[in-house]
Structures are given as C-alpha cells and as structure tokens.
C-alpha cells in the first residue's frame, strides 16, 4: 500500500503529464474542449496549466512582434570585396606591393631595405665606344659642349606653352617623358644641341623603330637635329656629322 507522500508525488507527476499533453494539443491545433481533463484535485494543477498557456501565448506574441518589425526592411548586402568579415573593412593596403603604396617615401624605404643593389653598365660595349669617340669630337669642335648618355627626353625638351591646349601639351609630354636618348650633346648653357642615336643590334625591331620615330618627330618639332650612327661608323664620319651642327670656331 503506497504511503501518503508516494501518492502525492504520483498525483503531481500525473498532473504535470496532463498539462504537457494539453500544451501539445494546443500547439498541434487541437482544442481544449476536445480533451477530457481529469478533475483537479487541487488548485496547483490548474495554475500549472495557466502558466504553460501563458508562456505559449507570450512566446507567440514575441515572435510575431519581431517578425513584424523587420517586415519590409531590405536585407543588407554584404560585399566580399574589401571585407575580412561581416562589418569589418579590410585595412588599406599601403605597402610596397602595390603602385599606390610606392608613392609613399616610407614604403619606398621599406622596399629598398629588403634587398641589396648592384651597379650596372649604363652603356654596352658598342655604345661606350661611340660615347668615347663622341666626347673627343665634341671637346675639339665645341665651345663648352658636353655629352650626356641615356638621358630622358623629357629632361631636355618640353611642349611649347603657346602650342595647343593644356590637355594636348600634357599628352604630348607623357608621350616623350619615358623615352631616352642614347647621347645628348648640350651647349655651355645646358641646352640640347644634337641628339645622337646608336643604331646597333635590336634598334630596327618593330618596337625600337617605333620609339625612335617618336623621338625623331619630337626632336624635329623642337628644332633639334638627330644623328643616327650605324654599327661600323668610323670616328671621322661621326666628326663630319657633328661638325654640321657645332661651329668649329665656337
């Protein structure tokens, strides 16, 4: 025969199971009326049922309210570009691995510090022989003239400020600035007098020929003669060409 405490625990447990069954029926669309509940032996069982129903109703109200508050709002688009995660922007890449970063002197120093450098020849052997001969010729013929090697054309000539508009001048300068003269003969005032190009191996290739054509036209418009020295040209022949543009009498 069960003791009073056992009967009490059994009754409460049965009441709890009935309450859970009721809640499950309500959630599945059933009706409270369809269920035949045992007669409550105490007010506690009834309060338990009310508590469960209250929790269910409160949860449903919260879910509906949350869904309604977000209704009509567009879902934010998150781009993978420039992000390392949702809401986190990738820090600007300001290092030496991109061109924009190398405009910063501190990044240039950083890039330089990672490698060693070695000297290179500014002229090959054939070009150097022409350079030596050209220096002697200019020294004898000129009046304070000097010879420069591998000089940027943009350092020697520029578009006339009275020619074209600023956009045209900018485009014209950009077209010559990266071009280099093999040799530039300058006068005692530092102005370009004669341009000398050595037409050695590779100068008649398509790209080299096109580059020479650009230099030739720009020099023509600047009023500067351009002498082309072929492989095997004798110093005397080079002297005769230079003498056409440098007065032997100074």
DSSP 75: P
**Spans of all domains in the chain:** 8-69, 125-243
Residue 97 is predicted with a pLDDT of 53
- DSSP category for residue 68: H
pLDDT at 207: 79
Per-residue DSSP letter, 163: S
The CB-side HSE value for 85 (13 A sphere, CA atoms) comes to: 1
- Residues 162, 214 contacting (CB under 8 angstroms): no
Residue 165 CB neighbour total at 10 angstroms: 7
Alpha helical stretches, state H, the chain: 4-27, 43-70, 105-112, 125-141, 166-176, 206-222, 235-243
CB 181 within 8 A of CB 123: no
> Scanning the structure block, which residue is given the tokens 């520029």?
158
pLDDT of res. 217: 97
Q: In the chain, which stretches have pLDDT less than 70?
A: 1-46, 48, 57, 59-100, 202-206, 248-250
Residues 156-182: pLDDT tens digits?
A: 999 999 999 999 999 999 999 999 999
pLDDT of residue 200: 83
Fill in the DSSP letter of residue 73: P
pTM above 0.75, yes or no: no
Q: What is the pLDDT of residue 33?
A: 42
Q: Please, which residues bridge with residue 227 across strands? A: 196
CB 133, CB 185: distance < 8 Å: no
**pLDDT (0 to 100) of residue 84:** 45
């Amino acid at each position: 025969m069960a003791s009073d405490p056992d009967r009490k625990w059994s009754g409460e447990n049965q009441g709890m199971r009935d309450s859970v069954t009721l809640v499950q029926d309500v959630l599945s669309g059933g009706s409270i009326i369809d269920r035949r509940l045992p007669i409550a032996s105490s007010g506690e069982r009834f309060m338990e049922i009310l508590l469960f129903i209250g929790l269910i109703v409160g949860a449903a109200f919260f879910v509906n309210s949350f869904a309604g508050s977000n209704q009509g709002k567009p879902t934010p688009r998150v781009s993978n570009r420039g992000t390392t995660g949702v809401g986190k922007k990738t820090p600007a890449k300001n290092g030496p691995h991109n061109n924009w970063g190398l405009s910063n002197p501190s990044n240039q120093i950083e890039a330089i510090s990672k490698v060693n450098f070695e000297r290179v020849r500014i002229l090959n052997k054939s070009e150097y022989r022409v350079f030596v001969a050209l220096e002697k010729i200019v020294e004898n013929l000129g009046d304070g003239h000097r010879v420069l090697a591998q000089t940027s054309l943009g350092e020697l000539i520029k578009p006339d400020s009275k020619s074209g508009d600023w956009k045209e001048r900018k485009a014209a300068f950009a077209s010559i600035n990266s071009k280099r003269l093999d040799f530039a003969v300058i006068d005692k005032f530092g102005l370009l007098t004669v341009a000398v190009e050595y037409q050695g191996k590779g100068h008649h290739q398509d790209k080299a020929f096109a580059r020479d054509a650009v230099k030739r036209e720009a020099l023509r418009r600047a009023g500067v003669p351009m002498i082309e020295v072929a492989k095997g040209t004798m110093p005397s022949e080079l002297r005769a060409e230079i003498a056409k543009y440098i007065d032997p009498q100074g």
